[in-house]
Chain A
Amino acid sequence: MPITPPSASLQEDRNPAVPAVMPRQEERVVLDNESIRRALIRIAHEIVESADGTERLYLVAIPNGGVPLARLLADNLESLTGLRPPLGILDTTLYRDDLSTRGSRPLLRRTEMPSSVDDRVVVLVEDVVSTGRTIRAGMDALMDFGRPSHVRVVALVDRGHRELPIKIDYVGKNIPTQPTDKVVFHAVQLPAPDATGSVGRDQSDEDFTIGELELVVRSDSETLEGPE
């Protein structure tokens, strides 16, 4: 039984403002559960191949969507190498370049970095990369936790429209999109069989297993009919 309803999606939180009138939308699933899990196995292989020394790997998830992806990736790396890399969570909100002077500042998300990143091969894990600004913020944040030897980036989806010179090292899938499209990653969290059932806002990740995954693109059809 899902604790988090699927509608509580984990999406790239660039523009939290919801328009008062929702435009007519088309929604299509571009990656289903199977293909996401397959992509993560492939990415784990690629990481192992390219990293010189898997013992120095350190996964850092950018919440919210990066967290379930990084956990699955850690599982895959563990089964490939016998070694489970440390997994950190790094909220980039306080490093964003678009904290406005009006309205509301975004709510902060969890940051948990279990150990120093000095001399580690840090792999930033993000669900959807587009402009590159979140990855830029993530790298700045990372530097406040030490001096990694390398920083690599994993993105489940690269949808293009880059605004900064950011390169994705490991991509699940390149998906061409319109700038107005919304790319949304859903991850259903299920209670783990041995969960303590403790309540609190910061439930530990060990209390959950990751259920169904899905990545959808929502297009504003009216925009698509525009002159271009």
Chain B
Amino acid sequence: MIGRDILGIEDLSREDIDTILETAERMQEIGNREVKKVPTLRGRTVINLFFEPSTRTQTSFEIAGKRLAADVVNFSVSGSSVSKRETLLDTAKTLDAMDPDAVVVRHKVAGVPHRLAKVLKAPVINAGDGAHEHPSQALLDMLTVREQKGRIEGLTITIIGDIAHSRVARSNIYGFKKLGAEVRVAGPPTMLPADVEKSLGVKAYTNLAEAIEGADVVMALRIQMERLEGACFPSVREYAATFGLDRAKLRYAKEDAIVMHPGPVNRGVELSHDLADDRPSVILDQVRNGVALRMALLYLVAGRGGH
């Protein structure tokens, strides 16, 4: 996979996903060492190109790169191409001239990593593009579920929240379905994208209890309260009452169901306070696995041989 872009889960085969997850499972051990660094990518350069601030994802990629001994450079840009008067092509050519071995891209508009990947010699890893995909998040979620449940095939996964604007939802839907799970989505109709069942191959629910009935994994998405309140739901209070998860509602799911969240949690909105902190929530496992998973991605693709 050296030189290969990781733009979305939709483009990955089941074998690709297995390879990434198995590699990540081996990488987990490095995080438990006293010396958490291996020399594998010594002398290689990873650029974190973030057009949209995301401390968590950027830090996770940075730690992952550093644990593999790569030189990690953070390149943060704010504003659109138009406001900067610099085209994506110019940005890509400029970066390429710096000879990176991998470029990790986050942008608030869907498709930007794809456009950069067409120009860059280095592989592009999509760290989230608009409401499109967030492959490393979905892969770490799959890694966490496999760790917790021992398998993914045959499980029922329910994703709750703003499916329409969520890249995490799309990537997880593609990923879990490829690995043989049943995926359901739930949210107010204003937060379900057009033709969601047909387009994404999921079952959609507007009732939380029905959506999580018998689920093995319940994943709540972060609600962008500033943007959505008044537009997609009348009030945070009503959202929390209808789609907020607490221990009482969780009883509809399987007894051993786990609760996931990509973070950061709006406490008392997506998840009740106690659910955010303790089992069956595995939120901190997700974060921990994020580093190992991103190490696996960098190990498998970093290098300029692919183009």
Contact = CB atoms under 8 A, between A and B. Distances in A.
A144 B300 contact: no
B29 interface: yes
Contact of A95 (B22, B25, B38): B38
User: How many A residues touch the partner, as a band?
Assistant: 20 to 34
A140 B299 CA distance: 18
Interface of A: 91, 94-95, 99-105, 107-112, 140-141, 144-146, 200-201
A111 B39 contact: no
B40 A95 contact: yes
A95 B39 contact: yes
B19 to A, nearest CB: 7
A141 B38 CA distance: 8
A105 B298 CA distance: 11
A105 B1 contact: yes
A188 B216 CA distance: 37
A115 to B, nearest CB: 12
A102 B35 contact: no
5 contacts: A94-B38, A103-B2, A109-B26, A111-B26, A144-B33
B37 interface: yes
Interface string B21-36: 0110111011001110
Contacts of B27: 108
A107 B39 contact: no
A14 to B, nearest CB: 17
Shortest 6 CB-CB distances between A and B: which pairs?
A: A108-B26, A102-B305, A94-B38, A101-B305, A101-B303, A94-B40
Contacts of A100: 2, 303, 305
B304 interface: yes
Contacts of B306: 102
Contacts of A146: 34
A91 B26 contact: yes
A69 to B, nearest CB: 21
A133 B35 CA distance: 22
B22 to A, nearest CB: 7
B37 to A, nearest CB: 7
Given A102-B306, A107-B19, A144-B33, 12 more contacts: A94-B68, A94-B299, A101-B303, A102-B3, A102-B303, A104-B1, A104-B2, A104-B300, A107-B22, A108-B27, A109-B26, A141-B38
A112 B26 CA distance: 10
A9 B187 CA distance: 51
A105 B2 contact: yes
A109 B22 CA distance: 9
Interface-central residue, A91, A101, A103, A200, by most chain B CB under 10 Å: A101
Given A102-B3, A111-B26, A111-B29, A144 B37 contact: yes
Contacts of A102: 2-3, 303, 305-306
A94 B19 contact: no
Interface-central residue, B19, B37, B303, by most chain A CB under 10 Å: B303
A122 to B, nearest CB: 16
A200 B305 contact: no
A71 to B, nearest CB: 20
